[in-house]
Structure 1
Amino acid sequence: MSAPQKPSVLVVDDKENMRKLFSRILGDAYAVTEGADGAQALALLASREFDVVVTDIQMPGADGFAVLREVKRRAPDTEVVLVTAYASIPKAVEAIKEGAYDYLSKPFDPDEVALIVARALEQRRQRRAAAGLKARLAEAPAPHGLLGASAAMRGLHALLSQVAARDLTVLLTGETGTGKELAARAVHAESPRKAKPFVAVNCGALPAELVESELFGHAKGAFTGATVAKPGLFEEAHGGTLFLDEIGDLPLPVQVKLNRALQEKEVRRVGTTTPVKVDARVVAATHRDLAAEVAAGRFREDLYYRLNVVTVRLPALRERREDIPLLAMHFLARAGRPELEGFTPEALRALSSYAWPGNVRQLENAVARAAAVTQGARIGVDDLPPELGVSRTAEAPGAPAGRVPAEALAKLPYREAVDSARDAVSREYLSALMQEFGGNVTHAAERAGMERESLHRLLKRYGVRSDDFKRPE
């Protein structure tokens, strides 16, 4: 078996000793190609694509800005790291505005070089993963809003299409939040009744004293407040589909009248004995076990069998985990923050491993919340709701704050485990540094042995706010 191909890095500098230094620092982990100047770099970029480009800013002829622009023109996903002397830092900051990933200020620490290049590579991987997920989302089947490419969802799509063509009563079962109303709308949209009304009602949300009136209508003067005659939902759905959500919550007396309406295809408005013929296909839904409700005497057996002509069960989200990244990306696109690129790999793993007792509806709410609070380009685990129990900075028994527990590290591939541990240590160090100096970045940078701007970038990268450590005056 051949060894995995190393990520490719192009190092561009007109000084040979600097190129060799970068090659020594990066050579073990990356396939390094050297460019003696900007012109040679442009020629190399015309012939192949690199994962990361590290280029000096000040070079004769084509400078680092020219290299940056050519990279972004040819391969926008390739990350560029600028190398500059301290006096040229404003130029490096300008380069970041033009699309560079980061900059290194001379003199630099070899560990800082390795870290920034590793981060740039991870940025590229995540951006490409997000692009791939968006492409999958665009291709994923989503008839009538029922998004999902898993085997469970493909089977559901096929079954709903078959059921829609036959004018039978349908009972949709499944946990709360699995999309039963979307399934009902799919049945209606693919049926011969699609040009007629689709009327939906949540039986559990209707006051008990108004359920009968809402379903069957009432005559003028039938009760206090009935100033005019009003048709019920069965009549409103005439020729189309009536969706009775949470039908297990119907009071028993109304169940009797509903059963008769389904049998006779007619209703009697409250306050009158005159029957009204209705032609509405009924699609009912419940999260309850109706067979158990019948056994307990809470649901009529005759109505249960009349509804249970065709039963379609919607799978819980935990039964189709492979759809979770697609759904999360779909909900992110609807969150009103188009600048967000997607999710970090850790966040996607956390979303995919959670049980989601509230199913798709809970996932939608979780993504909307994360999109609202995140400060980064991608949603990370710290942005996810606390009930997921995956906060990267949560304190674990026996571990320092922010440290990833050993048992969690053991479940990750080596590279990801090292990155996670390094993230935690960096965050701990920066928090301790800010605590020591009361949020004073200038003094903290002196202690850390780095430029103030470099410390600012690290604080932002690891989500440590200096203002949180400022002492009252």
Structure 2
Amino acid sequence: MSAPDKPSVLVVDDKENMLKLFSRILGDAYAVTTAADGERALGLLASREFDVVVTDIQMPGADGFAVLREVKRRWPATEVVLVTAYASIPKAVEAMREGAYDYLAKPFDPDEVALVVARALEQRRQRREAEGLKQQLAAAPDFHGLLGTSAAMRQTCALLTQGAARDFTVLLTGETGTGKELAARAVHAESPRKGRPFVAVNCGALPAELVESELFGHAKGAFTGATVAKAGLFEEAHGGTLFLDEAGDLPLAMQVKLNRALQEKEVRRVGTTQPINVDVRVVAATHRDLQAEVSAGRFREDLYYRLNVFTVRMPALRERREDIPLLAMHFLAKAGRPLEGFTPEALRTLTAYAWPGNVRQLENAVARAVAVAPGPRIRPEDLPPELSPSSSGGGPLPAESLAKMPYREAVDSARDAVSREYLVALMQEFGGNVTHAAERAGMERESLHRLLKRYGVRSDDFKRSE
């Protein structure tokens, strides 16, 4: 009797010598059951699932097509290998369109039989793993878009829930790409203000001369171009939540005015002296170490203490590696292409990488893999080259890889020393097209122009001749 832990293979053929041949080839590695015709195979399939079914096509009565259809109807995860004479190969190809895994053309080599069955079993295993991940993903808690079952994420979501219940300022810290905006939206959704506006602004993307107008509004004629009066974001968020992303990038002069607005709960539009009362709950986020910024004189201490009422640090992706397969499947499902999942090697590559750009970088990596994968599963070679084992240590990425990342992620990965190299790589990739480069970098076109000027990089030098 075969060992119970061996994979099960059903061999169906109306010739006894073929059944004996398959049993001899496969018997050592697999638990082989034989059926002398299609009708007996259908009877076995009515009550039992096999890992692989190897069936001849040409048989009296129920042929290989009937066996294939019954397998796929009753046991869709079972892989089917067809056996056919050379002249009937077109029929085997047709059967593969109906769900067969592969075919063996007579005469065949015993090693070929063992190889095809082993591949069929590997396909079944990978499909079951993918289905298991899909089931885990469906059952995983989704905290307003924040996915993960790791202890780090459970603790983070618990803290966000606690902070949401109290109507005070929340400060979200952590590396770029860790999901701070999702966390801010979760705080709003869990708070008593959930039915009121949620207004988000990236402070780092606002030109210094327009920050005050954007936050507090302006009167008609307050400055050139102010043809009408405009309410600021504080007024838009009245009664709700204002999310100040990258608050650590605010100019010092604006920090003074923001601190006063938070203290007095009122704002003054640019060009007026009339205070406007605002009822706003502020959630601020930054990838910077604000205490270090205070010590360096780049961030006001009084504003730091006003923001640092309830702090939640968003964990880096490398600190919750067990969430990576679930997140990867989530992003695969969002990509809109019906792939089955990832090969085990691809999942190992994803899990081993240090992810300097965190969840955002993982999403981009999966989107890229979906675009290039021939299917049905994403392989390691479909992933971005920087994810190769030689790049998994988490150190700075080479300049030619930096152009694949938004600017802030590149700077986080390799600090300011590579800013110029990043910009050069970006210009090279897009042939000096600042608009397309700004979209890739995740910043406004004007902001990219300022960076290019600061580092002496001329976009015209990279323009491609027609």
Structure 1 residues 49 and 4 mapped into 2: Cα distance closer, same or farther (>3 Å)? closer
1:379 counterpart residue number: 378
One-letter identity of the residue aligned with 1:183: A
Residue ranges of structure 2 left out of the alignment (5+ in a row): 391-466
Retained in 1: the 8 A contact 2:265–2:279?
A: yes
Q: What is the distance in 1 between the residues matched to 2:384 and 2:75?
A: 35
Q: What is the distance in 1 between the residues matched to 2:55 and 2:230?
A: 76
1:184 counterpart residue number: 184
Alignment of 1:352-367 (within 5 A): 352-367=351-366
2:369 counterpart residue number: 370
Retained in 2: the 8 A contact 1:39–1:62?
A: yes
1:120 counterpart residue number: 120
Q: What is the distance in 1 between the residues matched to 2:286 and 2:355?
A: 18
2:334 counterpart residue number: 334
Deviations 1:153-198 (A, max 9, x none): 1111111111111000000001000000000000001111111110
Structure 1 residues 3 and 209 mapped into 2: Cα distance closer, same or farther (>3 Å)? farther
Retained in 1: the 8 A contact 2:321–2:351?
A: yes
Retained in 2: the 8 A contact 1:370–1:385?
A: yes
2:309 counterpart residue number: 309
One-letter identity of the residue aligned with 1:346: E
Structure 1 residues 374 and 166 mapped into 2: Cα distance closer, same or farther (>3 Å)? same
CA RMSD of the aligned region, Å?
A: 1.3
Q: What is the distance in 2 between the residues matched to 1:217 and 1:40?
A: 80
Retained in 1: the 8 A contact 2:3–2:31?
A: no
One-letter identity of the residue aligned with 1:371: V
Retained in 2: the 8 A contact 1:381–1:390?
A: no
Q: What is the distance in 2 between the residues matched to 1:386 and 1:54?
A: 39
Retained in 2: the 8 A contact 1:12–1:37?
A: yes
Q: What is the distance in 2 between the residues matched to 1:139 and 1:152?
A: 18
Alignment of 1:74-85 (within 5 A): 74-85=74-85
Structure 1 residues 235 and 34 mapped into 2: Cα distance closer, same or farther (>3 Å)? same
Shift of 1:390: 5.0
2:410 counterpart residue number: none
Shift of 1:36: 1.0
Sequence identity, in percent?
A: 86
1:268 counterpart residue number: 268
2:411 counterpart residue number: none
2:343 counterpart residue number: 344
One-letter identity of the residue aligned with 2:25: I
Retained in 2: the 8 A contact 1:83–1:103?
A: yes
One-letter identity of the residue aligned with 2:374: Q
**What secondary structure sits across from 1:47 in the alignment?**
coil
1:321 counterpart residue number: 321
Q: What is the distance in 1 between the residues matched to 2:85 and 2:351?
A: 45
Shift of 1:4: 7.1
Retained in 2: the 8 A contact 1:328–1:363?
A: yes
One-letter identity of the residue aligned with 2:344: P
One-letter identity of the residue aligned with 2:382: D
Shift of 1:41: 0.8
- Relative to the length of structure 1, the TM-score reads 0.81
**What secondary structure sits across from 1:263 in the alignment?**
helix
One-letter identity of the residue aligned with 2:372: V
Shift of 1:147: 0.9
One-letter identity of the residue aligned with 2:144: H
2:167 counterpart residue number: 167
Deviations 1:376-421 (A, max 9, x none): 2111111001110159xxxxxxxxxxxxxxxxxxxxxxxxxxxxxx
One-letter identity of the residue aligned with 1:226: A
**What secondary structure sits across from 1:33 in the alignment?**
strand
1:213 counterpart residue number: 213
Shift of 1:301: 0.4
Shift of 1:350: 0.7
One-letter identity of the residue aligned with 2:264: E
Runs of 4+ in 1 over 4 A off after TM superposition: none
Retained in 1: the 8 A contact 2:178–2:360?
A: yes
**What secondary structure sits across from 1:138 in the alignment?**
helix
Q: What is the distance in 1 between the residues matched to 2:34 and 2:4?
A: 21
Q: What is the distance in 2 between the residues matched to 1:4 and 1:307?
A: 62
Shift of 1:3: 7.2
1:404 counterpart residue number: none
Alignment of 1:84-123 (within 5 A): 84-123=84-123
Shift of 1:270: 1.2
One-letter identity of the residue aligned with 1:366: A
Shift of 1:228: 1.6
Q: What is the distance in 1 between the residues matched to 2:41 and 2:189?
A: 57
Deviations 1:430-466 (A, max 9, x none): xxxxxxxxxxxxxxxxxxxxxxxxxxxxxxxxxxxxx
Retained in 2: the 8 A contact 1:25–1:110?
A: yes
Shift of 1:47: 2.0
2:25 counterpart residue number: 25
**What secondary structure sits across from 2:10 in the alignment?**
strand
One-letter identity of the residue aligned with 1:254: M
Residue 57 of structure 2 is aligned to residue 35 of structure 1: no
Q: What is the distance in 1 between the residues matched to 2:94 and 2:270?
A: 74
**What secondary structure sits across from 2:46 in the alignment?**
helix
1:150 counterpart residue number: 150
Shift of 1:76: 0.4
Deviations 1:349-383 (A, max 9, x none): 11111111101100101111110111121111110
Q: What is the distance in 1 between the residues matched to 2:277 and 2:55?
A: 79
**What secondary structure sits across from 1:32 in the alignment?**
strand
Shift of 1:275: 1.1
Deviations 1:318-370 (A, max 9, x none): 111111111111111111112x1111111111111111110110010111111
One-letter identity of the residue aligned with 2:43: A
Q: What is the distance in 1 between the residues matched to 2:47 and 2:212?
A: 75
1:231 counterpart residue number: 231
Of the structure 1 ranges 227-236 and 247-256, higher mean CA displacement relative to structure 2 is found in 227-236
Shift of 1:93: 0.9
One-letter identity of the residue aligned with 1:296: A
Structure 1 residues 322 and 4 mapped into 2: Cα distance closer, same or farther (>3 Å)? farther
Q: What is the distance in 1 between the residues matched to 2:337 and 2:42?
A: 35
Q: What is the distance in 2 between the residues matched to 1:241 and 1:180?
A: 14
1:245 counterpart residue number: 245
Retained in 2: the 8 A contact 1:172–1:286?
A: yes
Retained in 1: the 8 A contact 2:201–2:244?
A: yes
**What secondary structure sits across from 2:49 in the alignment?**
coil
One-letter identity of the residue aligned with 1:74: R
Q: What is the distance in 2 between the residues matched to 1:64 and 1:122?
A: 22
**What secondary structure sits across from 1:371 in the alignment?**
helix
Retained in 1: the 8 A contact 2:180–2:285?
A: yes
Q: What is the distance in 2 between the residues matched to 1:114 and 1:3?
A: 18
Retained in 2: the 8 A contact 1:240–1:279?
A: yes
